[in-house]
């Protein structure tokens, strides 16, 4: 079945450092890919998405490019802030059947120190 | 516009009891999905409802059930609770247009503790 693998955390960075969180997927067909973020005590919020190969999703300085040849969707940010501290989830949604079901990775906890 | 509302926020039950969790989607959203979040298993899909019909179901035992009402509000029920059911249960809503891969809006969740 479909699956998502993302790098194990936790990740600790200093403010203004460069961030990369790796994500690879296994799926039949051409899934849509997402990054969600979860702040402490809250539900998940969509950070960005890409629906086809070579699409780049971006939001709040974060970017990720849908790479079909490497089945990857790595999250990057050039300069992190303390407020970016959260848990980040990579996810996919398969096509067909009309369902919006998401398959999530295990999550990567990011802590940014001032 | 109000977000996805889940009640209660926290719940403590004992083994063998049953529990009902409630989710009110964003106004106008017709699709509601439920996810279980645990430290060990991460986020796992439970079920999805659209216009009162179950559109998809995850790999959970029959003790887990759900339903959706005509106003799109949804409830999920867990019977004969086990210690392993302790988790954060998240509800998400969307407009629900089939195959549109729309943005899901998540509630803050219900934290269930089974003692």
pLDDT at residue A99, rounded to an integer: 66
In this prediction, residues B73-90 reach a mean pLDDT of: 97
pLDDT at residue B101, rounded to an integer: 62
pLDDT at residue B1, rounded to an integer: 67
Token pair recorded at residue B114: 């089974």
Share of chain A above pLDDT 70, in %: 96
pLDDT at residue B99, rounded to an integer: 61
Q: CB distance A96–B31 less than 8 Å?
A: no
pLDDT at residue A1, rounded to an integer: 84
Q: What 3-state DSSP class applies to B89?
A: strand
Q: Of A55, A18, A105, nearest to B37 (Cα)?
A: A105
Contact between B1 and B65 under an 8 Å Cβ cutoff? The reply is no
pLDDT at residue A101, rounded to an integer: 85
- The CA distance from A100 to A98, in Å, is 7
Q: What DSSP string runs through B20-80?
A: EEEEEPPTT--EEEEEEEETTTEEEEEEEEETTEEEEE-S--TTEEEEE-TTS-EEEEE-S
Q: What DSSP string runs through A40-75?
A: TTS-EEEEEEE-STT-EEEETTEEEE-BTTTTB--E
Contact between A35 and A89 under an 8 Å Cβ cutoff? The reply is yes
- The CA distance from A35 to A58, in Å, is 10
Tens digit of pLDDT for each residue in A89-110? 999 987 655 667 899 999 999 9
pLDDT at residue A11, rounded to an integer: 96
Is pLDDT above 60 for A27? yes
- The CA distance from B112 to B90, in Å, is 11
Q: 10 Å Cβ neighbour count for A32?
A: 23
Q: How far is CA A77 from the centre of its chain?
A: 11
pLDDT at residue B83, rounded to an integer: 97
Q: Of A41, A36, A37, nearest to A91 (Cα)?
A: A36
Tens digit of pLDDT for each residue in A56-90? 999 999 999 999 999 999 999 999 999 999 999 99
- The CA distance from B51 to B90, in Å, is 19
Tens digit of pLDDT for each residue in B11-61? 999 999 999 999 999 999 999 999 999 998 999 999 999 999 998 899 999
Nearest CA in chain B to A34: B103
Contact between B40 and B59 under an 8 Å Cβ cutoff? The reply is no
In this prediction, residues B80-98 reach a mean pLDDT of: 91
B30 touches chain A (CB under 8 A): no
Share of chain B above pLDDT 70, in %: 96
> Which of A5, A43, A86 to mutate against chain B (most B CBs within 10 Å)?
A43
Q: CB distance B56–A106 less than 8 Å?
A: no
Name chain A contacts of B33, Cβ cutoff 8 Å: 100-102
HSE, CB side, 13 Å, CA atoms: give it for residue A101.
Answer: 23
In this prediction, residues A37-48 reach a mean pLDDT of: 91
B42 touches chain A (CB under 8 A): yes
Token pair recorded at residue A13: 């960075």
């Amino acid at each position: 079945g479909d699956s998502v693998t993302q790098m194990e955390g936790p990740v600790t960075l200093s403010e203004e450092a460069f961030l990369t969180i790796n994500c690879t997927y296994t799926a039949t067909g051409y899934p849509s890919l997402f990054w969600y973020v979860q702040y402490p005590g809250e539900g998940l919020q969509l950070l960005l998405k890409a629906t086809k190969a070579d699409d780049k999703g971006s939001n709040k300085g974060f970017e990720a490019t849908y790479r079909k040849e490497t089945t990857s969707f790595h999250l990057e940010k050039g300069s992190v802030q303390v407020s970016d501290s959260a848990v980040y989830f990579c996810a996919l949604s398969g096509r067909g059947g009309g369902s919006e079901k998401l398959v999530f990775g295990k999550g990567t906890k990011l802590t940014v120190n001032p | 516009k109000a977000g996805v509302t889940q009640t209660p926020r926290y719940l403590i039950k004992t083994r063998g009891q049953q529990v009902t969790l409630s989710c009110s989607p964003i106004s106008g959203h017709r699709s509601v999905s439920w996810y279980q979040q645990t430290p060990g298993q991460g986020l796992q899909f439970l079920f999805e409802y659209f216009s009162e019909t179950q559109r998809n179901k995850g790999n959970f035992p029959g003790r887990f059930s759900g339903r959706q009402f005509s106003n799109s509000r949804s409830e999920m029920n867990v019977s004969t609770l086990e210690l392993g059911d302790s988790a954060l249960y998240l509800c998400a809503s969307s407009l629900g247009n089939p195959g549109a891969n729309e943005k899901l809006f998540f509630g803050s969740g219900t934290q269930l503790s089974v003692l």
